[in-house]
Amino acid sequence: MKRPSRDSGESLRGISRRALVLGAAQFGVMGVLAARMRSMQVEEAEQYRLLADENRINLRLLAPSRGLVFDRNGVALAINEQNYRVVMVREDAGDVEDVLQRLRRLIPLTDDDIARAIEEMARHSPFVPVTIADRLAWEEMARVNINTPALPGVQAEVGLSRAYPLGSDTAHVVGYVGPVSDFDLSRIEDQDPLLQIPKFQIGKTGVENKLERILRGSAGTRRIEVNALGRVMREIDRIEGTPGNDVQLTLDAALQSYVEARLDGESAGVVVIDLENGDLTAVASAPTFDPNLFVRGISTKDWTELNENPYRPLAAKAVQGTYPPGSTFKLATALAAIEAGVLDPEETVYCRGYVDVSGNRFHCWKPTGHGNMNLHESLKQSCDCYYYEICQRVGIDLISEMAVRLGLGQRHDLPLSAIAEGLTPTRDWKLKVRGEDWRIGDTVNASIGQGFVLASPLQLAVMVARVATGRQIIPRLIRAIDGVEQPAASDEPLGVNENVLRRMRAALDAVSNHTRGTAYGSRIAADELRLAGKTGTSQVRRITQEERDAGITRNEDLPWERRDHALFVGYAPADAPRFAIAVVVEHGGGGSTVAAPIARDVLLQAMYDGPPPLSAYPSNIRSQIETLQERIQQRIAPGSSSSGRA
């Protein structure tokens, strides 16, 4: 049937519209393609010509600048210094050995340097730059730059290298960086491509290690054009990396340097805590070492000296070392007995110089005995027999429980290497670890901080800080990250009766300020800054009855490694505590004669925020102190650093 003419017209008009739409779409697509072709052939022609011309465009990573580390007052503890170095890209070099031989005519390179460089290049992708030499002088850098046409694949670069302005004074806290090793790669889950760059440096110890991701930053990139010989012709573009975050520590650099200088000649650890917020203002270990040696590549001679030194300069004794706490542990024993209700602070115990327990004789440090002792007198004069008696009433488990509440036997959460947990033993611990039943003699030994009990200077500082404040002081080392203040941990009440703590503080005050106190010789003369604390002397050898009968050998007559450890824990001012301190001197002898004077001097330095006046000391030792202060000030003068005993 024939369609009406009107229907045919409408059909033709519909077809025409569709054809126009389709045509317009095709024209638009062709226009876009034409525009893109023009862009590629005209505007981006140079770039694609270079990409097609023997793949001469290389993409290389740019290491970011590492975050800086400062003390609480803005003093730089870890910085980045400009460093001239020479790198080589294997795929651009051609005959690597020939190029290296030419390079050694311009800069000092040994056969070992060349062998190491060849080995390193063989271990990495051919396009990865390998450092051939660094820390070059400007003249050496210039010689390489001038001769780059004859050194394919070789580039002279300006980079950054880590440096530690205070040297050894902060080595155990800040730590140091070093090149990424195969061992590092095996234990780091981090897949950051920066770690694949030969000689890229990461934190090895201390804050540098524990805050590595915060300090490292993220990589940038740059695209460079090289010619057929591998010479860099130009940089096409560059995207800078993100620098690492700066970190501010709670340390007081001036106080830290003072402590290291004060410990000169000793093997010791000292920790100072700001009682307002738990900030660690000094964490010192002696002897110490120069971390810059590790950054630059430590020599065999220096490494051997550090490792063979019997005073162990590489050990962070303040947080890593654990020692029998000696009489400082009596604080935990007494508080446990009082809280358990088995001891009245006014009750007296008679000391005759020894106590017989289960067929064994346990001696007081004073052979003739102290007579009748209550809590106050037992702490002031450090009577051992008092604690031999009360510990049998309370038992080791409750003593250990109190010690943990005071901060012992636990690993405090700080960004430092190898923080020790210490040991507060219990019956279950001995059965599990030693396979033996606990004995009453073990409790007697533990009551005065001997036997199985172990604590670090950090833990002892926390213990006395909690006694001084009645709060669960939590130590803090990081003050701010990238300018953002880090909150101090909120400390809860210690949970010990305040009247009992007041009695204990009065006794600790008497230790330093009563003529019969064990630390009276180390008192502070300024009454408003009085020192309160507890001395301790821990044995590292067993004294036999035969030796007692013949006369106990004096510490100074023994080999160094067989002498007693000297300890002191304390705080000041006694009436309004601001700082707490713990001092442990390895094989130092008596806590009253060796550790207490160090604690006094450090606390005065902290309270005066600098050298204290001689009037703060008893008149009979002021000339001696003046000489000591002069020696210390010479040691901490700008450009010097504490290295400890050789």
Task: Catalogue the active-site residues.
Answer: 327
In angstroms, the CA 255 to CA 606 distance is 7
Any alpha helices (H) in 470-537, and if so which ranges?
Answer: 498-513
Token pair recorded at residue 529: 């800054």
**Any bridge partners for residue 163, and if so which?**
79
Rounded to 10°, the helix 330-339/384-394 angle is 40
> How far lies 226's CA from each of 101, 257, 626, in Å?
22, 50, 66
Sequence-ordered list of residues with C-beta below 8 angstroms from that of 330, at least 6 positions apart, any chain: 378, 379, 382, 387, 447, 448, 449, 534
> How far lies 48's CA from each of 43, 51, 127, 533, in Å?
10, 5, 20, 77
Could you please report the per-residue DSSP string of 23-74?
A: HHHHHHHHHHHHHHHHIIIIISHHHHHHHHTTT-EEEEEEPPPPPPEE-TTS
In angstroms, the CA 101 to CA 467 distance is 68
**Any bridge partners for residue 566, and if so which?**
537, 585
8 Å CB contact between 611 and 629: yes
Quickly count helices (H) and strands (E) in the chain.
25, 21
In angstroms, the CA 14 to CA 21 distance is 11
Q: Are strands 69-70 and 247-249 parallel, antiparallel or unpaired?
A: parallel
In angstroms, the CA 278 to CA 250 distance is 9
Picking from 531, 543, 501, 544, the residue whose alpha carbon sits closest to that of residue 597 is 531
Any alpha helices (H) in 217-270, and if so which ranges?
Answer: 253-262
In angstroms, the CA 431 to CA 488 distance is 39
Q: Is residue 232 packed enough to be buried (19+ CB in 10 Å), middle (13-18) or exposed (0-12)?
A: middle
Picking from 530, 521, 509, 531, the residue whose alpha carbon sits closest to that of residue 591 is 521
Omega before 425 within 30 of 0, i.e. cis: no
Helix, strand, coil % over all residues of the chain, rounded to 5: 45, 20, 35
Picking from 264, 250, 171, 164, the residue whose alpha carbon sits closest to that of residue 636 is 264
> How far lies 191's CA from each of 113, 124, 131, 240, in Å?
29, 16, 21, 20
Q: Residue 554, SS3?
A: coil
In angstroms, the CA 259 to CA 413 distance is 23
In angstroms, the CA 327 to CA 91 distance is 67
Other Cβ atoms closer than 10 A to 6: 8
In degrees, rounded to 5, the angle at the alpha carbon of residue 335 between the alpha carbons of residues 334 and 338 is 85
Sequence-ordered list of residues with C-beta below 8 angstroms from that of 514, at least 6 positions apart, any chain: 380, 520
